[in-house]
């Protein structure tokens, strides 16, 4: 109400709602959707006024039983509370119990005052900016950065952030009338108070839910109504999962189409020592040759110069082997049939103002995507595209990745 942020808890069909303003529980519903708390139809959600109904917290004074300098019922019920990143309290013993992002998510000021959320699990961490719904960091338990972020990356809206995991929606590259890679990556996303998705089954996983709806300017350029929900989750072993759900909310009965990519920049020790496996024998469109169609001939993709390809009907699992660091990034994708592989090499690196001249040596983009066949949604239909990233020791034997062992 009135733009005040709330958290929605769900378990077994029941639900509860908690506003950060006053830490105020305003709703508690049974599995039949029946409201069990009273909330006045005239309740005001206008700070500093208290909310009439639900469960107000009276602290540090009940009624007028205390200092005359305090207002009745104290001040806790009309202050803005914060999510607690370190609650010093164990999670509920029942693994199905709903919990908020407060257990392992901290809101912080990021670059240039842009707000970010930090997820932590088992020593691992990930950072997500509300600007762009952009994952900018993924670190292992030793604090080593696994995503590439350019030293010249600009955190200056409306410019996109160079590195991490930009979201290309509703258009990939220049395949349409919109600016390259669409607009989702340079819009301010909001926390999703009602994600309509259950918490992760693992009670220790840290996650955050974001939502993007089209602005007036977006609608003029892309005249479709949609809801784009994004969950970023950091699970045991540092497994990073991004789940995108796009729903057609057009009221005119019209379908719409879009292309999409998770434009993931991986940090590597030396691009000349990197192999990408899982795409051999596939057809690809070469962006350096007017998207002409070719067939991959090698047993793996290696890098000796600029490379920019869209691999078609790519398998669910792709591996990025970094021999110098003796590790493998495992990419698992669902709902995303294509894969893009890109490295700009030296000339293009020097031509990009937000990219260091020599940084191409330490990055590679392997992107889970839906490009050749755009996704089309009829009204009320929803599409899901999921990306899962994990890090495993190299298991490169005989020219192929032993994926079962890696998993």
Residues taking part in catalysis? 263, 367
CA distance 389 to 401: 16
What kind and span of H or E run contains 150?
A: none
What's the CA gap between 134 and 155, in Å, rounded? 11
Distances in Å between the Cα of 46 and the Cα atoms of 2, 155, 176, 252 are 7, 33, 44, 35
Residue 350's H or E segment, with its range, is: helix 345-351
DSSP calls for 366-395: EEEEEEEEEEEE-TT-EEEEEEEEEEEE--
Give me the half-sphere count of Cα atoms (radius 13 Å) on the Cβ side of residue 206: 26
CA distances from 179 to 104, 161, 194, 221, 342 (A): 36, 15, 30, 10, 19
In Å, the largest CA–CA distance within the chain is 82
Q: How far apart are the C-alpha atoms of 263 and 242, rounded to whole Å?
A: 12
Tokens of 357: 């001249």
| DSSP secondary structure, 167-217, as one string | EEBS--TTSSSSSTTBSGGGSB-EE-S---SPPPSSTT-EEEEEEE---HH
Q: Answer yes or no: are the C-beta atoms of 224 and 248 closer than 8 Å.
A: yes
345 near 358, Cβ under 8 Å? Answer: no
CA pair distance 117, 107, nearest whole angstrom: 5
Residue 121, SS3 per DSSP: strand
Torsion sign across C-alpha atoms 374, 375, 376, 379: negative
């Amino acid at each position: 109400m009135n733009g005040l942020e709330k958290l929605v808890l769900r378990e077994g069909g029941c639900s509860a709602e908690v506003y950060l303003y006053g830490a105020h529980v305003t709703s508690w519903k049974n599995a039949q959707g029946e409201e069990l708390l009273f909330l006045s139809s005239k309740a005001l959600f206008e700070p500093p006024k208290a909310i009439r109904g639900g469960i107000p917290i009276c602290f540090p004074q009940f009624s007028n039983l205390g200092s005359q300098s305090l207002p009745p019922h104290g001040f806790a019920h009309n202050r803005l509370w914060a999510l607690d990143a370190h609650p010093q309290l164990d999670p509920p013993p029942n693994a199905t119990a709903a919990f908020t992002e407060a257990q392992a998510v901290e809101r912080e000021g990021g670059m240039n005052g842009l707000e970010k959320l930090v997820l932590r699990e088992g020593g691992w961490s990930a950072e997500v900016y509300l600007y762009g719904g952009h994952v900018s960091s993924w670190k292992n338990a030793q604090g080593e950065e696994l995503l590439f972020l350019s030293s010249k990356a600009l955190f200056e809206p409306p410019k996109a952030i160079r590195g991490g995991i930009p979201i290309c929606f509703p258009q990939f590259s220049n395949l349409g009338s919109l600016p390259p890679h669409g607009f989702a990556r340079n819009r301010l996303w909001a926390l999703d108070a009602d994600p309509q998705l259950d918490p992760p089954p693992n009670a220790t996983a840290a996650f955050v839910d974001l939502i993007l709806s089209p602005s007036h300017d977006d609608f003029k350029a892309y005249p479709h109504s949609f809801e784009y929900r994004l969950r970023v989750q950091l699970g045991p072993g540092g497994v990073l999962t991004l789940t995108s759900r796009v729903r057609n909310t057009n009221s005119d009965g019209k379908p719409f189409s879009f292309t999409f990519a998770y434009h993931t920049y991986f940090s590597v020790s030396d691009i000349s020592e990197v192999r990408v496996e899982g795409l051999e024998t596939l057809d690809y469109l070469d962006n350096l040759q007017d998207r002409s169609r070719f067939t991959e001939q090698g047993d793996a993709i290696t890098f000796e110069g600029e490379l920019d390809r869209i691999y078609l009907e790519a398998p669910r699992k792709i591996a990025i082997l970094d021999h110098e660091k003796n590790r493998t990034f495992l990419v698992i994708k669902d709902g995303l049939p294509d894969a893009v592989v890109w490295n700009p090499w030296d000339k293009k690196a020097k031509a990009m103002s937000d990219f260091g001249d020599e940084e191409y040596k330490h990055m590679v983009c392997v992107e889970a995507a839906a490009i050749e066949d755009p996704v089309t949604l009829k009204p009320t239909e929803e599409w899901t595209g999921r990306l899962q990233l994990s890090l495993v020791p190299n298991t490169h034997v005989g020219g192929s990745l032993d994926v079962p062992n890696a998993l």
